[in-house]
Structure 1
């Protein structure tokens, strides 16, 4: 009897492990990409919209195009350190193929076939056009190589097991391509595309559940700063109803608020990128942001009595 029980338990354990291994298996990184002449100007625009240098520029130096990484990104799951994504062949992505890069950005999979942690906002990038990602790769190859690898992520068990990210992706990673709304203008659709893909605005401006997934019903409604620095504002019309389209556009260009104050914290790095966008793309993002319907966000914690 005991022997049968042990055999049954072993069989169930093996079956559970096989199921786990299958569910967490990263997709293939080998993508069939037809030959294409890249558009470097579009690649630069995508680079700025995506805020690549916000996280990957070497900290404490003025050149936003030195993408040697190293910026610490705190989270409830541990601290991530932005990797080197410069064209350096040893420490960066200089030896990556175009297919490697597209798989990383759109599917969150490394050239070695491992899951990237979702601190890398591929949950937004995954809706982008392949052509834009290919242009981005071509542009990034023109940037200066930077030697040196940042330190490894500082994550406790079980959050440091990359294989577990496969389960997380099943729950929270939607790779449906962005689809324009035919009832809206071309400008609005361009703004919606930039905000929801490369701009990845919802990644910071939405509350998250205990597993770190965005709470979709409160998308853009603000919430606790994932890095633990206060509260990220609600950018729907619930929070910014008094902002005009021009207010949004000027903010993306200058970082200046309608009341004359200036943005601070991590948003300053974002503005360094959006300020480099074309005026047309900033206006498109502003048109979309102004159209966001009011959504009630999580309550802010009460301030301690002074």
Structure 2
């Protein structure tokens, strides 16, 4: 009798614990989206217009940044929920398709510098969280000029994205996700190959130049090569460079890397990112 009573008690307790666990609220998608947009994804680094003193007040994510390069003169769009000049009339599905596939609601292709090749890997939950947060951003009426492309845009960047799972629970896998779809670090830090596409055989090899008011900056080799890369940097030095823009030797690094945004990245994401960078093949 005692054994049976004890078993019934254990079963009841387990059911109560299970019910409590199932009743726990899921993580707030808006909070997750805010973290992604404002920190690790650094969307404002391109979508918030800037003046001599930095971001223009009251213009967060209102677009208008100009990227004038040989293949294009791209103007970042307004991604606030303004119904006339922003994304206020786009559905969630249309926004997700624009972010991951580079397609507007009318079916036209969005051009570079948006790294769609990487954004296709955004997980379903993360891209939905980003959209949920963008809905909460104060709408800003700001009509921007159309982008001009001197290269043909592809009809599509790949087949429709059906579903993307979250990365595996492994530091390197999570770091690869942070460096790729989320933070798109490898977009700027991987050299260009033939045909205007990244040479993914040299991931993290650096070398791309960026011109701006600061002059010319060159994307660093972020592979663990001991001389050409960051192989001799400590984890703390790598994280300082990402979040504060200070090199291992104390030099201040140049834009366009969004140090102020990356300063808001979580310790866990930064540790995973370092683990991934350590795993890259060294590129001389």
TM-score category by the smaller chain? Answer: 0.7 to 0.9
Say whether 1:56 aligns with 2:47.
Answer: yes
Alignment map for 1:1-306 (pairs within 5 Å): 39-47=29-37, 48-60=39-51, 61-63=55-57, 66-156=60-150, 159=151, 164-166=153-155, 169=157, 177=164, 180=167, 186-225=170-209, 229-238=216-225, 239-267=229-257, 270-296=258-284
> Which segments of 5 or more consecutive residues in structure 2 lack a partner in the other structure?
1-25
CA 52–178 in structure 1, closer or farther in 2 if over 3 Å, else same: same
Shift of 1:80: 0.8
Query: Is the 1:66–1:145 Cα contact (8 Å) retained in structure 2?
Result: no
Query: Is the 2:66–2:76 Cα contact (8 Å) retained in structure 1?
Result: yes
Take 1:226 and 1:289, find their aligned partners in 2: how far apart are those partners? Answer: 22
**Aligned-pair RMSD on alpha carbons?**
2.7
TM-score normalised by L of structure 1: 0.73
TM-score normalised by L of structure 2: 0.78
CA 150–65 in structure 1, closer or farther in 2 if over 3 Å, else same: closer
Number of equivalences: 249
CA 275–129 in structure 1, closer or farther in 2 if over 3 Å, else same: same
Query: Is the 1:71–1:82 Cα contact (8 Å) retained in structure 2?
Result: yes
> Which segments of 5 or more consecutive residues in structure 1 lack a partner in the other structure?
1-35, 297-306
Take 2:163 and 2:28, find their aligned partners in 1: how far apart are those partners? Answer: 24
Query: Is the 2:217–2:254 Cα contact (8 Å) retained in structure 1?
Result: no
Take 1:120 and 1:64, find their aligned partners in 2: how far apart are those partners? Answer: 23
